[in-house]
Amino acid sequence: MVAECRILGFTAATDSAATTVQLRTKFNPFRHTVFSGLLYGGDLRISWADSRTLVVKCHGCSNADIRGMQQKWNAVSIRYVMVDSGQP
């Protein structure tokens, strides 16, 4: 399984760039979006806790406009950690 964090800059001039986390199988070019939102300065990081658990961590996302947060896709569980900008 491959996870990608993508920043899409085709939003309106007054909006933040759209950020997505997408999953796909190794040999399949088609992606499935499991997270999407406008982060307004937040910092999104992804990592694998193990072979079936993806961790999506967002620092400073208290003002984010989250559009979708899928908890599971196929055999992958997705765990979200939201950290305020004042915390480590």
Q: Contact 19/44 with Cβ under 8 angstroms? A: yes
**Residue whose C-alpha is closest to residue 18's, from 42, 47, 53, 52:** 42
Q: Is residue 13 scored above 80 in pLDDT?
A: no
The contacts of residue 36 (CB under 8 Å, 6+ apart) are: 18, 19, 20, 21, 66, 67, 68
Instruction: Give the pLDDT mean for 23-49.
Output: 92
Residue owning tokens 């800059």: 9
pLDDT higher than threshold 80 for residue 4: yes
Give the residue extent of every domain in the chain: 2-83
Mean pLDDT for 13-18 is: 73
10 against 5, higher pLDDT: 5
Using the predicted structure, report yes or no on whether residue 10 has a pLDDT greater than 70: no
- Tell which residue, 67, 9, 21, 66, has the closest CA to residue 47: 21
Q: For residue 54, is pLDDT > 70?
A: yes
